Copies of this chain bind each other. A is one copy, B any other.
């Protein structure tokens, strides 16, 4: 394990390539993210617009963003909301309080207009800096034998399974 550590090189500073707009200005959503009455829009910086060519053919995309409004330090273990007496490792959770505050969401594309991508619900704060967009490719990313991990083991698993969509807003 020590070998790995010695190989670490300096990492560049990543740069926002756009901004995510959501109805969540100040407080945590804590609500289902699929909401047809709300607007969720990813504004890619206009100079990157050619990079969207062909993206509209995908139904889903990955959105990577900087969790920029985090008010608390990263924790190695977290107590997920709606659970009692359960602590799990931060890497076994989608908690935003992570060593590297990079968020990841899978969203459905509604439509693309210029350098703006209108998407299904995205549970991040308005103004969240965009880091990357990648196509969600069925062949690579749809794991039909995936499980729920510890989420499936707790008493109120169904409740949490719904609520977990809001975990990124556990500020």
Q: Which residues of A are interface residues toward B (Cβ below 8 A)?
A: 1, 3-5, 7-9, 11-19, 21, 43-46, 48, 50-55, 57-60, 62, 64, 66, 68, 76-77, 87-94, 98-102, 104, 106, 114-116, 127, 129, 131-151, 153, 161, 164-165
**Cβ-closest 9 pairs across A and B:** A4-B19, A53-B89, A4-B43, A58-B149, A54-B88, A54-B92, A55-B92, A51-B89, A138-B146
CB distance B133 to A91 under 8 Å?
yes
New A-B contacts (11) at CB < 8 Å, excluding given A94-B140, A138-B143: A11-B14, A11-B15, A11-B68, A13-B13, A14-B100, A53-B77, A60-B143, A64-B64, A104-B104, A137-B149, A140-B164
Min Cβ gap A42→B in Å is 9
How many copies of this kind of chain does the complex include? 2
Q: How far is the CA of A116 from the CA of B5 in the complex (A)?
A: 12
Instruction: Summarize A's interface: helix, strand, loop or mixed.
Output: mixed
